[in-house]
């Protein structure tokens, strides 16, 4: 009898130990979440002024960082770059960037300064090209002045992160020496952290990641053709892109930052997130796409977080009501973001 009780006790102990191990392993597997450095939003520049209410709303949703975007305009025919134009919105010009940064710092937020180029409607900057070396050199001199002016501003205003280029794949591929010398000039002016925003389809071809603090990706990866993609299906679709990012992380030992990521509240929101060609309003598709991104990427220690596209500083995003747009404001996706940013 004693022997029977002893065997039974040992059996129960083994079962209990196995359950304990399984339970703790399962919890560990599902509860790991990397600490995001940047719980960010790309801020659409205010037209005239930036109000405290904008930052009150950002803080209420656990956003700890914003991206400020001083746009410049490219005249392709003259191979020139123009910025700080008085016709531009206040928030895109130097005075607006300075004031916006100061207000962000008052709210204990970090800031990324991210210059963007605008060529013309529906022109992708990654395709920017010139037929002669003289044209390239003229454009590069213009672009360098634009970037160094804002690098100096970033240094003066203690801006924590500077992104010196956005989706300029053809230029980077054809003129790598130009970009290396530009990085060295930036570093002489600016002592904060440095990144570049590569497009999702060419981030592994950028030759200068070793010179920077983060691998920056505008992360509009294609994931699903479904009208309303399921989170589980999106999670599976992410894996091919994650493998590519992990390979680059292993090669460079650099963390990966999503300088942009986002989805419109439309049908097929995750099919080609960089396009604006879907017309059916679909808030669930947008929310599911955000949820999947956070579920998959926050499992990776190399993921530094990123900046969602986009947050309007002005109230005009409310007109017309229920329109399709990237902003998660007043949409279910915002609660998803808030949860994961908490």
Question: Structural domain boundaries of the chain?
Answer: 47-341
- List pLDDT tens digits, range 77-109: 999 999 999 999 999 999 999 999 999 999 999
Three-state SS at 35: coil
Closest CA to 273 of 212, 217, 192, 194: 217
For the entire predicted model, the pTM comes to: 0.89
Residue 7 has pLDDT above 70, yes or no: no
Give the residue among 216, 204, 208, 169 at the shortest CA–CA distance from 40.
216
| The two three-digit tokens of residue 300, written as one number | 């990776």
pLDDT of residue 319: 62
CATH classification code of 47-341: 3.20.20.80
pLDDT at position 321 = 60
Whether 40 and 306 have beta carbons less than 8 Å apart is answered as yes
* Terminal-to-terminal C-alpha distance of the chain: 57
Q: Tell me the two tokens of residue 68.
A: 């400020």
- Please report the pLDDT score of residue 10 as a whole number: 37
Q: What is the pLDDT of residues 292-308, one digit of tens each?
A: 999 999 999 999 999 99
Where does the pLDDT of residue 24 fall: very low under 50, low under 70, confident under 90, or very high at 90 and above? very low
């Amino acid at each position: 009898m004693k022997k029977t009780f002893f065997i039974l006790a040992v059996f129960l102990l083994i079962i209990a130990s196995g359950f304990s191990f399984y339970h703790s392993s399962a919890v560990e597997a599902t509860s790991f979440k990397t600490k995001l450095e940047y719980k960010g939003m790309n801020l659409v520049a205010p037209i005239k002024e930036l109000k405290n209410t904008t930052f009150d709303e950002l803080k209420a949703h656990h956003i700890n960082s914003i991206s400020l975007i001083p746009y410049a305009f490219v005249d392709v025919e003259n191979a020139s770059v123009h910025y700080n134009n008085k016709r531009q919105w206040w928030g895109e010009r130097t005075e607006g960037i300075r004031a916006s940064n100061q207000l962000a710092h008052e709210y204990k937020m970090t800031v990324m300064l991210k210059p963007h180029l605008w060529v013309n409607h529906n022109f992708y900057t990654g395709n920017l090209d010139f037929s002669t070396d003289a044209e390239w050199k003229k454009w590069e001199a213009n672009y360098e002045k634009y970037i160094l002016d804002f690098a100096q501003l970033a240094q003066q205003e203690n801006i924590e992160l500077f992104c010196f280029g956005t989706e300029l794949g053809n230029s980077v591929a054809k003129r790598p020496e130009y970009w290396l010398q530009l990085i060295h000039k930036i570093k002489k002016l600016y002592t904060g952290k440095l990144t570049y925003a590569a497009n999702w389809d060419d981030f592994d071809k950028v030759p200068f990641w070793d010179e920077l603090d983060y691998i920056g990706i505008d992360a509009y990866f294609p994931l699903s053709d479904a009208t309303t993609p399921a989170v589980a299906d999106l999670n599976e679709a992410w894996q091919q892109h994650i493998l590519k990012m992990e390979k680059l992380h292993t090669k460079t030992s650099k963390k990966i930052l999503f300088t942009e990521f986002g989805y419109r509240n439309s049908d097929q929101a995750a099919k080609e997130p960089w396009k604006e060609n879907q017309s059916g309003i679909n808030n669930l598709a947008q929310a599911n796409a955000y949820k999947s991104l956070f579920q998959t990427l926050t499992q990776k220690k190399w993921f530094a977080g990123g900046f969602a596209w986009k947050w309007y500083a002005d109230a005009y995003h409310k007109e017309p009501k229920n329109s399709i747009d990237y902003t998660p404001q007043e949409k279910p996706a915002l609660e998803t973001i808030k949860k994961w940013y908490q």
